[in-house]
Amino acid sequence: MSAEQANPRNLVQQPAAPSRPHSRGADIETIEIGGPDMVASRIALGTWAIGGWMWGGSDVRSAFRTIQAATDHGINLIDTAPVYGFGLAEEIVGRALAANGRRKRILIATKCGLEWRNAKIHRNASPARIAAEVDESLKRLHTDYIDIYHLHWPDPVVPIEETAGAFAKLLQDGKIRAIGVSNLDREQTERFRQIAPVRTTQPPYNLFEREIEADLLPYAKASGLVVLAYGALCRGLLSGRMSSATRFEGDDLRRVDPKFQQPRFNQYLAAVSALDAFAHKNFGKSVLALAIRWVLDQGPTIALWGARRPDQLDAIAQVMGWSLDEPAKREIDRIVQDTITSPVGPEFMAPPQTAAESLVA
Ligand SMILES: NC(=O)c1ccc[n+]([C@@H]2O[C@H](COP(=O)([O-])OP(=O)(O)OC[C@H]3O[C@@H](n4cnc5c(N)ncnc54)[C@H](OP(=O)(O)O)[C@@H]3O)[C@@H](O)[C@H]2O)c1
């Protein structure tokens, strides 16, 4: 899909009326992000799929209804990025929140540091790029401040200190309220924090992708950073809806995601099936609820839940009001280890590091 196809400006319409009421908002767990001035729901709406790019296209009306459903469920944090649909996801979020004065009640997290041309992306976290990007995001989001601004990916060409300096200036200018980093390791995060205060870190984290447990998660716990865990459902794998017959259309990234290729796909499906049986037997819950609960029970986390249809958020109520004890976590580990004999991480998602690399990718 080209950038133009992914971002048809005339598709951005007025938000549709909610399809039905969601009134369970009061029950959602919350967490302070760096202090009492920023309190977020522990489930945030992820909008990559809403942008369409790498998810087989965007359904704008459904996207508006999903944002409405999310806020009705009590979600007050929406994660987006300029690159999601090359501006489209931010525009949808901005338009949806502009209605009914909802902007003030919702925290917007967006990102910078990726550049694109003809739908080919590469990293660029230079101060000049960041200064331009923030203004473009503010415009698309129909707002004059961003609540949490993340560096999307580290740029090997630009020293982290220079990038951090650009973020510090945005904070000083009042264009952003808080800083986050994404896909940075512990050492890179430490360097960034020497120059500018960081409140959140946004790494991949779910039952199947646990690389951060070695270093970044303990570091976040010790440093007071909140972890916005992305891919909490492992790109839908942990929803429980998939089978070996599941196919993905168009530019859907799961057509190349190594977890979704056979024979490995069947190993992951077997793990999902065993986890689903475990969740039902012990908690009366689905594997989807178990997967999100597990993320929330690992520390100071927020689960980023990617959704593009309102009904995909119906299970939120199933996630609240219980927790996993240590024996349950050990049994989950055993199931995962026994069923997935050739595990693979989320590394395939890393964008090209430079423009030159992007051209050959
Ligand atoms: N910082 C970064 O580099 C980075 C990278 C990745 C993601 N993120 C953020 O994290 C968010 C979440 O990650 P993600 O979207 O990649 O993955 P995810 O949340 O693990 O999975 C999202 C997908 O799961 C499926 N799904 C969700 N709810 C479902 C339900 N109730 N039943 C069945 N299927 C369901 C949907 O796919 P179908 O509609 O196809 O079924 C949805 O698009 C993103 O949207 C984005 O905001 C950040």
Can you give the pLDDT of all 361 residues of the chain as single tens digits?
333 333 333 333 333 333 333 344 448 999 999 999 999 999 999 999 999 999 999 999 999 999 999 999 999 999 999 999 999 999 999 999 997 788 999 999 999 999 999 889 999 999 999 999 999 999 999 999 999 999 999 999 999 999 999 999 999 999 999 999 999 999 999 999 999 999 999 999 999 999 999 999 999 999 999 999 999 999 999 999 999 999 999 999 999 999 999 999 999 999 999 999 999 999 999 999 999 999 999 999 999 999 999 999 999 999 999 999 999 999 999 999 999 999 999 999 999 998 888 867 6
Distance between Cα 232 and ligand 1 center (Å):
7
Is 231's C-beta closer than 6 angstroms to any atom of ligand 1?
Answer: yes
* Cα separations in angstroms, 206 against 5, 265, 297, 333, 358: 31, 16, 11, 12, 28
In angstroms, the CA 41 to CA 303 distance is 9
Beta strands per DSSP E along the chain:
30-32, 39-41, 43-46, 77-79, 107-112, 114-117, 120-123, 146-151, 176-182, 200-202, 226-229, 301-306
Q: Do the beta carbons of residue 266 and residue 260 sit within 8 Å?
A: no
Is 230's C-beta closer than 6 angstroms to any atom of ligand 1?
Answer: yes
DSSP 8-state class, residue 243: -
Task: Reply yes or no: is the peptide bond before residue 263 cis, omega within 30 of 0.
Answer: yes
Supply the residues annotated as catalytic.
84
Task: Give residue 356's Cα distance to chain centre.
Answer: 27
- Residue written as token pair 């891919």: 231
Atom from ligand 1 closest to the CA of residue 312: 31
Distance between Cα 127 and ligand 1 center (Å):
30
Determine the pLDDT at residue 99. 77
Is 304's C-beta closer than 6 angstroms to any atom of ligand 1?
Answer: yes
Determine the pLDDT at residue 216. 98
Determine the pLDDT at residue 144. 97
Is 288's C-beta closer than 6 angstroms to any atom of ligand 1?
Answer: yes
Determine the pLDDT at residue 10. 31
Is 89's C-beta closer than 6 angstroms to any atom of ligand 1?
Answer: no
The model carries a pTM of: 0.94
Distance between Cα 26 and ligand 1 center (Å):
24
Determine the pLDDT at residue 114. 97
- Name the closest-CA residue to atom 5, ligand 1: 230
